[in-house]
Chain A
Amino acid sequence: MEQALFRALGDPTRRAVYERLAAGEMNVAGLTALLDVTQPAVSQHLAALKGAGLVSERREGRRTYYKAEPAGLDPLMDWMARTSALWPERIERLRDLLKRMDR
């Protein structure tokens, strides 16, 4: 799951799109003008971000607005919480092991 997340954010332009949307809701035309990329490219990046759960859309008449979904980062947050808890215990076990080893 983290892997899908990082694949989606691994592309610099896609990351720029995500960062813009983290600051506030925008449509494709607005993103295209801001980021100096073609409209089809923006649409493609938005589709990838949506697929990873990082972006959601809202329709208003003929327009579609996009915004960042902070919950999309949850797999990463979970990974970080799990991993943070792991290492201090391991380091204590390493200290014990080093005491038992020949110097």
Chain B
Amino acid sequence: MSELTFEADLDAPPETVWRALSEPDLRAQWLGVEAAEALEPVEVAGAERLSFRDTRDGSLVTFEVGRGDAGAHLTITHAPAGAEVIAFPTPARWRMAA
């Protein structure tokens, strides 16, 4: 698969992490203003899952927040435009670079 996944254990309650993800002003503080402004909301599920389309390259960013050992566990998935439809082929060069 060509999507990228990042995981982080955060020393804060999930509710606080959710605010940092869902409130545009807070989002801009850690994503950077330009990147934050390029994100258009696609889907929200409870206070757990939030997806955005990056209007600059069409990629899809999904945040998932749950409880973790330290407080909250955050999973970030970033998929390039159109990647939803692909189980990616693997020529030799791709395997080497992956």
A-side interface residues toward B, CB under 8 Å?
Answer: 2-3, 5-7, 9-10, 15, 18-19, 22, 68, 70, 73, 76-77, 79-80, 83-84, 87-88, 90-91, 93-99, 101-103
Asked if residues B91 and A9 are in contact (CB atoms below 8 Å), the reply is: no
Asked if residues B20 and A6 are in contact (CB atoms below 8 Å), the reply is: no
Asked if residues B30 and A83 are in contact (CB atoms below 8 Å), the reply is: no
Contact residue among B31, B59, B86, B91 (Cβ-Cβ distance under 8 Å from A70): B91
CB distance from A2 to the nearest CB of B (A): 5
Please report whether the interface of chain B is mostly helix, strand, loop or mixed according to DSSP: mixed
Indicate whether A70 sits within 8 Å of B93 (C-beta atoms), given known contacts A6-B81, A6-B85.
Answer: yes
A88 vs B30: C-alpha distance in the bound complex, in angstroms?
A: 11
Indicate whether A95 sits within 8 Å of B11 (C-beta atoms), given known contacts A15-B86, A80-B2, A88-B6.
Answer: yes
A101 vs B27: C-alpha distance in the bound complex, in angstroms?
A: 12
A94 vs B12: C-alpha distance in the bound complex, in angstroms?
A: 11
Contact residue among B20, B88, B91 (Cβ-Cβ distance under 8 Å from A97): B20
**Can you name 17 A-B residue pairings with CB atoms under 8 Å?**
A2-B58, A2-B81, A3-B58, A6-B81, A6-B85, A9-B86, A9-B89, A22-B89, A68-B91, A80-B80, A88-B6, A90-B30, A94-B10, A97-B20, A97-B29, A98-B12, A101-B20
